[in-house]
Structure 1
Amino acid sequence: MSVGDGILHPDRLLPAEPGTRTIARDLYETVRDLPIVSPHGHTDPAWFAKDEAFQDAAALLVTPDHYLLRMMRSVGVAYDDLGVARADGGPVADARQAWRTFARNYHLYAGTPSSLWVDHAMSAVLGCEEKLTAGNADALYDHINAQLALPEFRPRALLDRFGVETIATTEGALDPLDHHRRLAEDGWIGRVRTTYRPDAVTDPQAPGFRADLMALGEMTRTDVLGWAGMIEAHRRRRADFRRLGATATDHGVPSPMTADLGDTEKQRLLDGAVAGALTPAEAELFRAQMLTEMAGLSVEDGMVMQIHAGSRRNTDRAIFAQRGRDMGADMPGRADWVGELDALLNRHGDAPGLRVIVFTLDETTYARELAPMAGYWPCLMIGPPWWFHDSPEGIRRYLDRVVETAGFANLAGFNDDTRALLSIPARHDVWRREACGFLARLVADHRLSKSAAGDLAADMSYHAAKRAYHL
């Protein structure tokens, strides 16, 4: 990540107190150029398989970024004006007009993590020497497009430039994995790897659940109308993913509720799910049982289980109908980790080798639930601040609330969880700066030696993620 800082201040995010800032700066210099391990994210595997030039500045930086979209929508900017595709194929702004709209509104991001990521991408990666404004929008658009046409801005070259040692994409259970097979042919599996995300066939309220479940049965040659056969289909599909580099699964659920039901009740729920006859409470129970089943499969095959819980998705139904998912209308919700993980933990919590990494959008659970749980259960680790809390202040709150009880050893390091390739070095840089600031304060308080802080800085920046994800 030793790209030029340009318009970025070299001491950004480091503590303001001079003595502590000096310690933090010294620590940061030891970790700033460590390789990037990105064990969970949503970049498009087609980028790396095809290795083609990116289209334009707006398509790369603006239209796919729900963080940016939601802020502009909050002040009345229409998605049509941002070039976001419509489900009906209706006209939207072209790329240059969308970029101009973004530039006119860029002041909205002052003080947000989005400004840190975009400024870093434009300055340190794309070589822009000025902050984006309405006045320089066209000039910077042309400059960025000219950069994107160069060979060194192709996706694989960018991974080299960013120092990305490994990056994980996320694919659904029915994905044919063609892009990863192409990557395997090119010797890129390991550098780019997949992650198994079965939500479409574990959530009976997902659109097209029955059709997708039957497709999973055809793909794996199993009878998914019986509970044991349905679980066998997942077992076989997970093996396909592992052959293409996967070490982890991912489960996006409204709540972390788990269950441990008997065979008769499980089959009853499956029958109801296939028939589309479950009540909302029964659908929640089906998802709960499936989380416990996925943990059992992780005990068998060693895949790390990630649980992302607490997102209330697609809350703007009109936008969802017009544009689809990931348009910025997802909202955080409350979670009860102690109560709702009880069934899974009492079934599998002491299984040798099981690893469950949990991510929450409910920050109130950090100190009250997640840190004590991770500080007790051998299988549990706490994932880094996620989504709305992947920010400087979010990282500070997280570390303040979890380290005292869970220690550093029960944290899963950092993953950027992004769809935006150019933001990856920026996100890791923010984490490293904040981690070094946190450690520097412990050193300044004489609670930690500087040598120990240096070891922890390297662990938090690099080693912990490799260890957590079996990389």
Structure 2
Amino acid sequence: MSTGTAAAPTARAARGGRTPLRPHEDRLLPTDPGQRGIARRLYDQVRDVALVCPHGHIDAGLLARDTPFTDPAALLVTPDHYVTRLLHAHGVPLEQLGLPAAGAGAAPPREVWRAFCARWHCFLGTATRGWLEAELHDVLGVRLQPSEQTADELYDQISHALAQPGLRPRALYSSFGIAVLATTDDPADDLRHHRTLAEDPSWSGRVIPTFRPDRYLDAAAADWPAALQRLGAASDIDTSSYPGLVAALEARRAHFRANGATATDHSARDPRMAFLAPADASRLFDQVRRGEADAAAQRLLSRQLLGEMARMSAEDGLVLALHTGVLRNHHTPTGARFGGDTGHDIPLRTEFTESLRRMLQRFGTNPAFQTVLFTLDETVFSRELAPLAGFYPSVYLGAPWWFLDAPRAMRRFRDAVSETAGFYRGAGFIDDTRGFCSIAARHDTARRVDAGYLASLVAEHVLTEQDAADVLHDMHDAQPRTAFRL
């Protein structure tokens, strides 16, 4: 028997569900008429600039195979944890959103789509709503808002559109104007899809891997011993010792570099690193591997391995991207049933100044070393990150990401860091998406927000309009290329 209270009918439901979908041309631009005019002119100069995508989670196999997307749910709902997490918060079980649970199947795509459309209003006010509106209207040709009444009609319309050649993955890559797309990949991956694309004479795009070794650095994870065996098999190096693990990681980094990688990506809980003497590191590794270590020792080994990543970056030139300050898989039962990256990563307070000091003492002024720092903690933008990037030539400011990749958070970021670090210590915008169709919409959001921010500085006579135009172009082209060595 249910003990909950039935949801009250919404005002939208009461007035019917056939509302036009018309994203406003001036969305996200300033409300002041004078600034809006400046912002329009700035935005017009970058709206069609090629997209540089240095960090995201698209599967390279999607482009290598180039098979049509199957249905609207698989395209817009199931792979996008921005979408699934909020629907889950409104009472929709994840298996009803297409995520396969351990020991059970997923809901049919049409049912997933109906659940999404019935709760379309739940996304009002979110950045996700803006991206979805742009995807539906600009990419898929939809002119009605999703609703319970329009769900089946839109499902059929979009399914028909997805069968057309112009909406296959490679065609979308081209129509989005993507110059380079970086994926995130397991060090044990053979990268065959990347090679397929690189060797295909009919393909002119650029898709490169990113080395993401989190599972091999997390000595506290239950599957860490199995991960080491998988890495050993991929590298043909015995990983049962600390020197062997380090050698295997170095070998796989070389493999990634040979296949076009320019960066590594790390999602440690915090950015602190350790730099133990080799003998001490080996003893610690053996202790943890035998199951004789407590949580503090496991954490120390993880920090030591992250320090090894920094050391390797100073030697092989791969940019060290740190996405830290998040508690992954906050709801353990959901993680057990559906795995990671299913929408329940939650931000943590993060400290950088002391945590990174050992790393920056060693490598901060090394011209071979570069790092891009991301955070989910807005309190450190002006207090720690901007001053670090304002001194160390190796430090670049990562764009706001995950919960902060929203218009007002982007503006707060610009306000917090620009007066200290300027515009040329940033790494541009990252879409950080698993939803291929959202790439262009997310970049467009950032360009509109940045145009509006720079327009305010022009109106205040801090910048000339030409300076603002140059900065805006560089923020979305030269800066990500520089920061990620593209």
TM range (shorter): over 0.9
Q: Is 2:355 aligned against 1:340? A: yes
Q: 2:7 matched to which residue of 1?
A: none
Q: Is 2:153 aligned against 1:139? A: yes
Q: 1:9 matched to which residue of 2?
A: 24
- Distance in 2, matches of 1:104 and 1:190, equals 38
Q: 1:437 matched to which residue of 2?
A: 452
After TM superposition, the runs of 4+ consecutive aligned structure 1 residues lying more than 6 A away are none
Q: 2:423 matched to which residue of 1?
A: 408
Counterparts of 1:348-367 in structure 2, within 5 Å, are 348-367=363-382
- Distance in 2, matches of 1:446 and 1:226, equals 61
Q: CA deviation at 1:453?
A: 0.5
Counterparts of 1:246-395 in structure 2, within 5 Å, are 246-395=261-410
Q: CA deviation at 1:435?
A: 0.6
Q: 1:216 matched to which residue of 2?
A: 231
Q: CA separation of 1:190/1:303 partners in 2, compared to 1, >3 Å: closer, same or farther?
A: farther
Name which of 242, 248, 252 aligns with 2:257.
242
Q: 2:434 matched to which residue of 1?
A: 419
- Distance in 2, matches of 1:340 and 1:219, equals 32
Q: Is 2:115 aligned against 1:86? A: no
Confirm or deny: 8 A CA contact 2:56 2:433 kept in the other structure: yes
Counterparts of 1:102-181 in structure 2, within 5 Å, are 102-181=116-195
Q: 1:191 matched to which residue of 2?
A: 206
* Residue-by-residue CA offset, 1:134-155 (whole Å, 9 max, x unaligned): 1111111111111111111111
Q: CA deviation at 1:222?
A: 2.6
Q: CA deviation at 1:443?
A: 0.5
**Which amino acid in the other structure matches residue 428 of structure 2?**
G
Confirm or deny: 8 A CA contact 1:197 1:251 kept in the other structure: yes
Name which of 453, 461, 482 aligns with 1:446.
461
Confirm or deny: 8 A CA contact 1:304 1:355 kept in the other structure: yes
Confirm or deny: 8 A CA contact 1:249 1:306 kept in the other structure: yes
- Distance in 1, matches of 2:292 and 2:50, equals 50
Q: CA deviation at 1:189?
A: 8.4
- Distance in 1, matches of 2:189 and 2:220, equals 19
- Distance in 2, matches of 1:459 and 1:237, equals 33
**Which amino acid in the other structure matches residue 396 of structure 2?**
M
- Distance in 2, matches of 1:277 and 1:116, equals 50
Q: 1:229 matched to which residue of 2?
A: 244
Q: CA separation of 1:218/1:101 partners in 2, compared to 1, >3 Å: closer, same or farther?
A: closer
Secondary structure in 2 matching 1:339: coil
Confirm or deny: 8 A CA contact 1:210 1:273 kept in the other structure: no
Q: CA deviation at 1:276?
A: 3.2
Q: CA deviation at 1:308?
A: 0.5
Confirm or deny: 8 A CA contact 1:392 1:431 kept in the other structure: yes
Q: Which runs of 5+ in 1 are unaligned?
A: none
Name which of 43, 48, 55 aligns with 1:28.
43
Confirm or deny: 8 A CA contact 1:225 1:270 kept in the other structure: no
Confirm or deny: 8 A CA contact 1:258 1:342 kept in the other structure: no
- Distance in 2, matches of 1:258 and 1:206, equals 18
Q: Which runs of 5+ in 2 are unaligned?
A: 1-19
* Residue-by-residue CA offset, 1:44-98 (whole Å, 9 max, x unaligned): 11101111011110011111211111112212222232222111124x4211111
Q: 1:39 matched to which residue of 2?
A: 54
When structure 1 is superposed on structure 2, of 47-56 and 221-230 the one drifting more is: 221-230
Confirm or deny: 8 A CA contact 1:217 1:224 kept in the other structure: yes
Name which of 83, 100, 109 aligns with 2:114.
100
Name which of 65, 76, 84 aligns with 2:91.
76
Q: CA deviation at 1:224?
A: 2.5
Aligned alpha-carbon RMSD (Å): 1.5
- Distance in 2, matches of 1:189 and 1:231, equals 36
Percent identity, aligned pairs only, is: 44
Secondary structure in 2 matching 1:225: coil
Q: CA deviation at 1:183?
A: 1.6
Name which of 41, 44, 49 aligns with 2:64.
49
Q: CA deviation at 1:227?
A: 2.8
* Residue-by-residue CA offset, 1:375-418 (whole Å, 9 max, x unaligned): 11111101000100000011011111011111111100111111
Secondary structure in 2 matching 1:37: strand
Q: CA deviation at 1:190?
A: 6.4
State the TM-score, normalizing by the size of structure 2.
0.93
Secondary structure in 1 matching 2:353: helix
Confirm or deny: 8 A CA contact 2:265 2:323 kept in the other structure: yes
Q: CA deviation at 1:207?
A: 3.6
**Which amino acid in the other structure matches residue 134 of structure 2?**
H
- Distance in 2, matches of 1:296 and 1:341, equals 13
Confirm or deny: 8 A CA contact 2:275 2:307 kept in the other structure: yes
Confirm or deny: 8 A CA contact 1:180 1:189 kept in the other structure: no
Q: CA deviation at 1:228?
A: 2.9
Secondary structure in 1 matching 2:181: strand
- Distance in 2, matches of 1:75 and 1:214, equals 41
Q: 2:5 matched to which residue of 1?
A: none
Confirm or deny: 8 A CA contact 1:165 1:191 kept in the other structure: yes
Q: CA separation of 1:462/1:65 partners in 2, compared to 1, >3 Å: closer, same or farther?
A: same
Confirm or deny: 8 A CA contact 1:6 1:124 kept in the other structure: no
Q: CA separation of 1:468/1:6 partners in 2, compared to 1, >3 Å: closer, same or farther?
A: farther
